[in-house]
Amino acid sequence: MIDLRRIQGPPPIQQEAQRPESVKPGKVGEFARFLKEANAIQGGVRFSAHALERMEQRGIQLTQDELQRVNAAVESAAQKGSRSSLVLLDERAFVVSVANRTVITAMEGGHLKDQVVTNIDSTVIL
């Protein structure tokens, strides 16, 4: 007879690591809400949770006009066959997955100095 108490089942499933409060659904900042609303209206670029977190940490904000310029830059990169692009807008930089139309991360001013951006195949300067 088999003693079922001695048989160990599969290891317990590890829960996914908790995201920081700043990026949990429903708890994004005012600017992040603006970006989500603008995306819903325009069908433009999306911002990953990581990008939104970096933008909030670094105080990076975009006006409606600047957001349209970023959208146009991503469209231009897509037309040239780019897959991943660095979009430079004034004193800000955005790494964008062109195929997914998603901003992966954002940097500004002092964070741009001495940085090496990898895994991009194009740069759009606005």
**What pLDDT digit, counting tens, does each position of 87-103 carry?**
999 999 999 999 999 99
66 with 42: CB under 8 angstroms? no
Mean pLDDT of the chain: 77
Structural domain includes residue 71: yes
- Please report the pLDDT score of residue 1 as a whole number: 47
Structural domain includes residue 82: yes
107 with 58: CB under 8 angstroms? yes
Bridge-based pairing state of the strands 84-89 and 46-47: unpaired
Biggest CA–CA distance in the chain, Å, is: 75
Distance in angstroms (rounded) separating the CA atoms of residues 116 and 126 = 19
Structural domain includes residue 4: no
Total domains present in the chain: 1
pLDDT, one tens digit per residue, over 50-65 is 999 999 998 899 998 9
121 with 83: CB under 8 angstroms? yes
Residue 31 scores a pLDDT above 50: yes
Structural domain includes residue 115: yes
109 with 96: CB under 8 angstroms? no
pTM: 0.67
Structural domain includes residue 52: yes
Percent of the chain residues topping a pLDDT of 90: 47
Encoded tokens for 14: 């590890």
Q: Which structural domain, as residue segments, surrounds residue 48? A: 27-125
Structural domain includes residue 83: yes
Distance in angstroms (rounded) separating the CA atoms of residues 33 and 12 = 36
Structural domain includes residue 16: no
